[in-house]
């Protein structure tokens, strides 16, 4: 087990936090959270979501960082390194990586949409549509074949270029700059959305819990969303953990990232729901929600609307970029660890994933009738990667961490070899890791599947 500083790593704690936060904060917060929250009933969903984020998601993030930094490896090698006598745990690492591959496929589709909306804001196309037209505009765009595919391939190309640029120069630098700007912009949009006529219905929808709307499926979706949004459960944070500085305080870093990620999802909710109600739209608008609602908010900005729209979709594209980077990085690092050159690995993964992504993108139009049961290719991938696979991977990861990995290894890594005082938090932490997190994951999984 190597504990020397790896050559390939983040230069500072701040940079590492920003890069990991860049992975966490993405379309999951701004595109997925509002529509999933809307679908499962608003406030009640939110309460369950909060519990999952802090008691499961954050705990998993700490655990993945520990595994990664301890082994300086990707998930495929980390598990067997920690327990050489139990080599089968390697499968958990591989399952996580396979899940990352599928997530990246879905992710690229939405990232492509975002990039296209940036372009349309810039060229004025979006500004020339009136408020009633955004729904149709979105449907028309998503169901066409060429534009979404070209957008997603272009986006993939940008992702690939950053990955080839490397961990420190590529990933860290871009994350450090973007995250703060995105937050400021979201706050401005919240203020605007809240001051629209009729906004209060949206606030009530988001914050007033109505438990009658919360189904077993909703609870499972809340869990899936918590994991997806924090990028945990699939081993991406194991890879980023292996780049963390050795003196970084893993507990603190994970808390910061979790709080940031949660805060940004709430901001996105506050930017969107009041506007949804104020403009008489349905909160259950599905994957197109932000693309149909936010342009209305921008229109209400008057002459500044176009500028806001351009900046917002640019930042959202970049937030998506830092997340897509982490997914591609995990897969690249894995092949790299197996001996393939970094650049070759990155190109190979990109080629394979572009096939999945284009197929998923076509399911909004030309391949809309290709279905498994009632699900299109996109729906199927979205269900798998957003709801089912992450809790399974997360459950296995936390069982390994709490029950299979050696407690001394965990404490040594969490405390940076005894230099960070952990005190009584240790007891609480092990209680979460051994009981609360695995049991709740298990209960949610079983009830969700039985539903």
Give the interface segment with ligand TRP, choosing from 141-149, 287-295, 323-331, 346-354 (CB under 6 A): 323-331
Q: Name the β-bridge partners of 371.
A: 376
Task: Please pick, from the candidates 73, 231, 336, 387, the single residue that binds ligand TRP as defined by CB under 6 A.
Answer: 231
Please count the CA atoms within 13 angstroms of the CA of 304 that sit on its side-chain side.
8
Eight-state DSSP code of residue 42: T
Pick the closest to residue 126 from 12, 292, 373 (CA basis): 292
Chain-centroid distance of CA 419 in Å reads 32
By CB under 6 A, the residues from 2 to 31 that bind ligand TRP are 23-24, 26-29
Q: Where are the beta strands (DSSP E) in 322-422?
A: 371-372, 375-376
Examine residue 397 and tell whether it contacts ligand TRP (CB under 6 A). Answer: no
Min dist. Cβ of residue 323 to ligand TRP (A): 4
Examine residue 242 and tell whether it contacts ligand TRP (CB under 6 A). Answer: no
Contact 19, 170 (CB under 8 A): no
Min dist. Cβ of residue 220 to ligand TRP (A): 16
Q: Whole-angstrom Cα distance, residue 4 to residue 1? A: 9
Return the sign of the alpha-carbon dihedral for residues 227, 228, 229, 232.
positive
Examine residue 354 and tell whether it contacts ligand TRP (CB under 6 A). Answer: no
Examine residue 349 and tell whether it contacts ligand TRP (CB under 6 A). Answer: no
Min dist. Cβ of residue 29 to ligand TRP (A): 5
By CB under 6 A, the residues from 147 to 176 that bind ligand TRP are none
Helix (H, G, I), strand (E, B), or coil: what is residue 364? coil
CA-to-CA separations, 158 to 59, 96, 123, 168, 445, in angstroms, rounded: 32, 24, 20, 16, 36
Number of residues in contact with ligand TRP, rule: CB under 6 A? Answer: 16
- Give the other-Cβ count within 10 Å of 124's Cβ: 11
Q: Whole-angstrom Cα distance, residue 353 to residue 156? A: 9
Q: Whole-angstrom Cα distance, residue 81 to residue 86? A: 9
- Two tokens, residue 297: 């908010």
Q: Which is nearer to ligand TRP, 72 or 326 (CB)?
A: 326
Q: Which is nearer to ligand TRP, 15 or 26 (CB)?
A: 26
Which x/- pattern over 279-308 shows residues binding ligand TRP (rule: CB under 6 A)? Answer: ------------------------------
Q: Which is nearer to ligand TRP, 142 or 236 (CB)?
A: 236
- Two tokens, residue 439: 């049991």
Examine residue 387 and tell whether it contacts ligand TRP (CB under 6 A). Answer: no
Contact 170, 162 (CB under 8 A): yes
Examine residue 234 and tell whether it contacts ligand TRP (CB under 6 A). Answer: yes
Eight-state DSSP code of residue 167: I
Q: Which is nearer to ligand TRP, 228 or 277 (CB)?
A: 228
- Give the other-Cβ count within 10 Å of 325's Cβ: 26
Min dist. Cβ of residue 26 to ligand TRP (A): 3
Chain-centroid distance of CA 176 in Å reads 17
Task: Please pick, from the candidates 17, 46, 53, 236, the single residue that binds ligand TRP as defined by CB under 6 A.
Answer: 236
Give the interface segment with ligand TRP, choosing from 227-235, 300-308, 336-344, 399-407 (CB under 6 A): 227-235
Q: Which is nearer to ligand TRP, 59 or 296 (CB)?
A: 59
Q: Which is nearer to ligand TRP, 23 or 361 (CB)?
A: 23
Q: Which is nearer to ligand TRP, 229 or 336 (CB)?
A: 229
Ranked by CB distance to ligand TRP, the top (closest) residue is 28
Contact 152, 361 (CB under 8 A): yes
Which x/- pattern over 79-118 shows residues binding ligand TRP (rule: CB under 6 A)? Answer: ---------------------x--x---------------
Contact footprint for ligand TRP (CB under 6 A): 23-24, 26-29, 100, 103, 228-229, 231, 234, 236, 323, 326-327
């Amino acid at each position: 087990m190597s504990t020397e500083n790896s050559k390939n790593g983040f230069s500072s704690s701040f940079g590492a936090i920003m890069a990991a936060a860049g992975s966490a904060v993405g379309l999951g917060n701004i595109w997925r959270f509002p529509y999933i929250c809307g679908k499962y009933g608003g406030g009640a969903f939110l309460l369950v979501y909060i519990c999952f984020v802090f008691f499961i998601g954050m705990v998993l993030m700490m655990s993945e960082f520990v595994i990664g930094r301890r082994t300086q490896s990707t998930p495929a090698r980390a598990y067997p390194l920690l327990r050489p006598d139990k080599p089968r745990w390697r499968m958990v690492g591989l399952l996580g990586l396979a899940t990352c591959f599928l997530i990246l496929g879905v992710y690229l589709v939405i990232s492509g949409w975002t990039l296209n909306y940036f372009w349309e804001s810039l060229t004025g196309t979006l500004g020339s549509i009136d408020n009633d037209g955004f729904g149709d505009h979105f449907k028309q765009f998503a169901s066409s074949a060429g534009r979404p595919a070209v957008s997603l391939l272009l986006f993939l190309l940008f992702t690939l270029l950053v990955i080839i640029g490397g961990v420190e120069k590529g990933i860290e630098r871009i994350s450090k700059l973007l995250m703060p700007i995105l937050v400021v912009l979201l706050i401005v949009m919240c203020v605007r959305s809240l001051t629209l006529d009729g906004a209060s219905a949206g606030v009530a929808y988001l914050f007033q819990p109505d438990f009658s709307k919360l189904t077993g499926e909703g609870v499972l979706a809340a869990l899936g969303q918590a994991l997806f949004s924090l990028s945990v459960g699939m081993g991406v944070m194991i890879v980023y953990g292996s780049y963390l500085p050795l003196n970084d305080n893993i507990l603190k870093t994970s808390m910061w990232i979790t709080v940031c990620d949660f805060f940004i999802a709430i901001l996105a909710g506050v930017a969107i729901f009041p506007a949804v109600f104020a403009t008489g739209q349905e909160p259950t608008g599905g994957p197109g929600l932000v693309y149909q609602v936010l342009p209305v908010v921008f229109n209400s900005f008057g002459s500044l609307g176009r500028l806001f729209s351009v900046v917002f979709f640019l930042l959202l594209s970049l937030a998506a970029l830092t997340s897509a980077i982490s997914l591609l990085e995990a897969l690249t690092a894995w092949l790299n660890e197996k001996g393939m050159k970094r650049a070759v690995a990155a190109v190979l993964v990109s080629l394979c994933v572009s096939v999945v992504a284009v197929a998923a993108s076509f399911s909004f139009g030309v391949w809309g009738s290709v279905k498994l049961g009632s699900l299109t290719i996109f729906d199927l991938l979205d269900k798998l990667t957003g709801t089912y696979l992450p809790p399974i991977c997360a459950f296995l990861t936390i069982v390994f961490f709490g029950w299979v990995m050696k407690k001394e290894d965990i404490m040594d890594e969490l405390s940076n070899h005894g230099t960070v005082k952990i005190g009584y938090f240790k007891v609480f932490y092990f209680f979460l890791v051994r009981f609360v997190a695995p049991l709740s994951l298990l209960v949610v999984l079983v009830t969700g599947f039985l539903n």
